[in-house]
């Protein structure tokens, strides 16, 4: 499952400071030589990949990015201060393109990697540079150059390997929230989730993979009913599905069938995708009824059933071990 997050921004590097015209003034030196300093260089706009970031959402609110201008030169051949660079953090996997031509400026993939996307203008020259035998008192200087300005298109591509599916209210968002640092909205009504939530789930060794919690599926989802249609398209690219079922529902078997039928009706061999059947909310059933339900499901089911309580973080280790072994990572 690939999610594309994008943003459109303008970056403008700092302008170089102007050179200045000045002459030395010293006691007993009636005509001091030219001493105008150069302007400082403008600051660059720099992007830096940061593995703690997951989205380009910040850029929806910050669309124009300016680096600092260089300062003017000073007397006594003092060079003006350079403008500071502005360093913006972007998630790993951000591709930077020129908006109009599509030319790729760079692809930031490794944590800490940086890319100058707009160079600051160079500072102008002060009149001290123009001293010659013919002109002992030059009045000439140059202005600082403008910094580069670009309209950029940022695109972040994330690939989810594991999709969490199920009827509305099964606890899909609750599950991703206890497995990862994702903090989706959770509520006791159907269709709480309107867009997929992504979370990185890690093994104790630190490796991990992206899970996606998608909106609830209902009967007819494959034909576009409810919110399911669009999201079934997305899960075509996952390697593993977690089919989450509310164990406390009136008829969990029927619920499972609805989701299975949707996978099948959708086609694209979604029904053949490896998946794990997971009963959530197990704490709402007494031990005897839970066993009965598990046994019933194991009889005709697609795979062995794992019972968990997402809300109480119960049974998650067993589930995760199963996931890692199915993914072979």
Ligand X SMILES: Nc1ncnc2c1ncn2[C@@H]1O[C@H](COP(=O)(O)OP(=O)(O)OP(=O)(O)O)[C@@H](O)[C@H]1O
What radius of gyration, in Å, describes the C-alpha atoms of the chain?
31
H helix runs in the chain, sequence order:
58-61, 172-179, 228-235, 252-266, 287-300, 316-327
Angle between helix 316-327 and 172-179 (nearest 10): 80
Residue among 281, 282, 278, 262 nearest 270 (CA): 262
> How far apart are the C-alpha atoms of 183 and 4, rounded to whole Å?
19
Q: Assess 71 for contact with ligand X (CB under 6 A).
A: no
Whether residue 282 is annotated as binding a ligand: the answer is: yes
Stretch that binds ligand X, among 34-42, 187-195, 234-242, 256-264 (CB under 6 A): 187-195
- Is 310 annotated to bind a ligand? Reply is yes
Nearest 5°: CA angle at 274, between 311 and 308?
Answer: 20
Place of tokens 């594309």: 4
Query: Which residue in the set 171, 199, 226, 315 belongs to the binding site for ligand X (CB under 6 A)?
Result: 171
127's tokens: 């009149």
| Binding residue for Mg ion, selected from 177, 193, 307, 309, defined by CB under 5 A | 193
170 contact, one of Mg ion, ligand X, none, CB 5-8 Å limit per kind: ligand X
Residue 17 · residue 144 · CB < 8 Å: yes
Task: Tell whether residue 53 is among the known ligand binding residues.
Answer: no
309: annotated binding-site residue? yes
Half-sphere exposure of 25 (CA within 13 A, CB side): 3
Residue closer to ligand X (CB basis): 188 or 272: 188
Taking residues 260 to 299 in sequence order and writing x for each that binds ligand X by CB under 6 A, - otherwise, the string is: --------------------xx-xx---------------
Q: Confirm whether residue 314 is marked as ligand binding.
A: no
Closest to Mg ion by CB, 22 vs 310, is: 310
Which residue, 41 or 169, has its beta carbon nearer to ligand X?
169
Residue-wise DSSP of 114-177: EEEEEPPPPPPPPGGGG--SS-SS-----PPPPPPEEEEEEEEEEE-SEEEEESTTSSHHHHHH
Among 100, 188, 207, 272, contact with ligand X (rule: CB under 6 A): 188
Question: Is 142 known to sit in a ligand binding site?
Answer: no
Cβ atoms within 10 A of the Cβ of 264, count? 12
| Listed ranges 74-82, 98-106, 148-156, 188-196: which one lies at the site for ligand X (CB under 6 A) | 188-196
DSSP string, 177-199: HHHSS------SSTT---S-EEE
Asked if 309 is part of the footprint of ligand X (rule: CB under 6 A), the reply reads yes
311 contact choice in Mg ion, ligand X, none (CB below 5 to 8 Å, kind-dependent):
ligand X
**By the 8 A CB rule, do 158 and 95 touch?**
no
Scanning residues 132 to 191, which ones bind Mg ion (CB under 5 A)? 172-173
- Does 310 participate in binding ligand X (rule CB under 6 A)? yes
- Rounded least distance, CB 214 to Mg ion, Å: 8
CA dist 247 and 279 (Å) reads: 5
Is 313 marked within a binding site? Answer: no
The entry of ligand X, Mg ion, none that residue 79 binds, CB within 5 to 8 Å by partner kind:
none
Give the three-state DSSP class for 224: coil
Please tell me whether 212 is known to bind a ligand.
no
Choosing among ligand X, Mg ion, none, which partner's interface includes residue 307 (Cβ < 5 to 8 Å by kind)?
A: none
| Member of 311, 322, 324, 326 binding ligand X (CB under 6 A) | 311
Please give the C-alpha separations between residue 40 and each of 35, 43, 65, 118, 174, in angstroms, as whole numbers. Answer: 16, 9, 20, 16, 54
Q: Where is the binding site for ATP, in residues?
A: 166-173, 191-195, 213-216, 280-283, 309-311
Binding site residues, Mg ion, CB under 5 A:
172-173, 192-193
Q: Where is the binding site, in residues?
A: 166-173, 191-195, 213-216, 280-283, 309-311
Binding site residues, ligand X, CB under 6 A:
166, 168-174, 186-188, 190-193, 215-216, 280-281, 283-284, 309-311
């Amino acid at each position: 499952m690939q999610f594309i997050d994008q943003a459109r921004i303008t970056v403008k590097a700092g302008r170089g400071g102007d050179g200045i015209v000045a002459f030395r003034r010293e006691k007993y030196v009636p005509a001091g030589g030219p001493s105008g300093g150069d302007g400082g260089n403008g600051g660059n706009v720099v992007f830096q990949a940061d593995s703690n970031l997951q989205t380009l959402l910040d850029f929806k609110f910050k669309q124009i990015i300016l680096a600092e201008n260089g300062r003017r030169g000073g007397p006594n051949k003092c060079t003006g201060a350079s403008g500071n660079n502005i360093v913006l953090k972007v998630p790993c996997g951000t591709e930077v393109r020129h908006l109009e031509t599509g030319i790729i400026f760079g692809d930031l993939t490794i944590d800490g990697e940086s890319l100058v996307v707009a160079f600051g203008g160079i500072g102008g020259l002060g009149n001290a540079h123009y001293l010659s035998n013919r002109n002992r008192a030059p009045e000439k200087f140059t202005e600082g150059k403008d910094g580069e300005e670009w309209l950029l298109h940022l695109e972040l591509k994330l690939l989810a390997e594991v999709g969490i599916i199920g009827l509305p209210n099964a606890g899909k968002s609750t599950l991703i929230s206890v497995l990862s640092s994702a903090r989706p909205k959770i509520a006791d009504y159907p269709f709480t989730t309107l867009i997929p939530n992504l979370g990185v789930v890690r093994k104790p060794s630190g490796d991990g993979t992206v899970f996606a919690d998608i909106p609830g599926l209902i009967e007819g989802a494959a034909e576009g009913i409810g919110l399911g249609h669009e999201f079934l398209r997305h899960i075509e690219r996952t390697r593993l599905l977690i089919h989450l079922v509310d164990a406390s529902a009136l008829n969990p078997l029927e619920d499972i069938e609805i989701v299975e039928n949707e996978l099948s009706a959708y086609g694209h061999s979604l029904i053949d995708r490896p998946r794990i059947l997971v009963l959530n909310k197990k704490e709402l059933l007494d031990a005897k009824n839970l066993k009965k339900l598990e046994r019933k499901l194991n009889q005709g089911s697609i795979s062995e059933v794992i019972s968990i309580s997402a809300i109480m973080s119960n049974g998650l280790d067993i589930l995760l071990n199963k996931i890692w072994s199915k993914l072979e990572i």
